[in-house]
Amino acid sequence: MPRVERSRSNVSPRLSFYVHIPYCVKRCGYCDFNTYTPAELQGPDLAAVSANYIDAVIQEIEMASSSVGNAEVPTIFFGGGTPSLMPSADLARVISAIREKFELANDAEITIEVNPDSVSEQFLAHMREAGANRISMGMQSAAPHVLETLDRTHKPVNVARAVEQARKNGYEHVSVDLIYGTPGESFADWKTSVESALALPIDHISAYALIVERGTKLAAQVARGELVMPSDDETAEKYLYADESFEAAGFTWYELSNWSKPGGECRHNI
């Protein structure tokens, strides 16, 4: 979970935390991450499971403290899975534990990945009070049929609502994720997704080419011929359009699949 950067001098090491939240309402067909749905838990409800999971996360934080000693924490990233499914009080416990065991930098970047449908204004407000200052939202596409192919459950209209709520609650940085190259996605669909993202009050965009991961539902659908992946040329054309559009809107490419406005870079990733 923690990533340590040791200085060449006698200055304390810097320790960044990635906190994985492995729960989703439904597993997306393309996802090969370590996640669990309510049906797979087959036991207590998510609230009970999440409390135990957070207890284990805090134990890891304490173990890291014993191993590393005093360290400055410049970034914390809650990813998943779907962190916004968790009770905000549980995620706040993690931030408090890190503050207690380490020196959280005054300008620390604390990111929460959220789903447009599961995130609430109350969740956003509570996490902002706990210190979170950056939101990363899984938009993926503005085309309903593309979201359906990806097994995404949210409605496109809820993306704008959630972004506006994040800004309203004082989040300094808001990012959206896009995916291109989904079977059945036309160039016009991708153009609409890019334009919809750029219309939002955000300062960061991630755009990923869809990858068929072995063992996923998507891989099985492609193997059976139910879905056909686009050609490399089609995928490249979509990337070039996105890059040109983002640059024209004031976003600069800075890392792998990420673009940001000045000062909007995700510091956890660089």
Query: What string of DSSP letters covers 5-59?
Result: E--SSSSPPEEEEEEEE-B-SS--TT--SS-B-HHHH-SS-HHHHHHHHHHHHHH
In this predicted structure, what is the pLDDT of residue 8?
44
In this predicted structure, what is the pLDDT of residue 80?
96
In this predicted structure, what is the pLDDT of residue 12?
73
Domains of the chain and any CATH numbers: 12-269 (3.20.20.70)
State CA 241 to chain mean position distance.
Answer: 23
Q: Give Cβ neighbours of residue 8 (< 8 Å, ≥ 6 apart).
A: none
In this predicted structure, what is the pLDDT of residue 11?
59
Residue among 243, 84, 215, 227 nearest 150 (CA): 227
Residue among 97, 84, 189 nearest 138 (CA): 84
| One-letter identity of residue 20 | H
Sites in the chain below the pLDDT cut of 50:
6-9
In this predicted structure, what is the pLDDT of residue 5?
58
The two structure tokens encoding residue 136: 């990363």
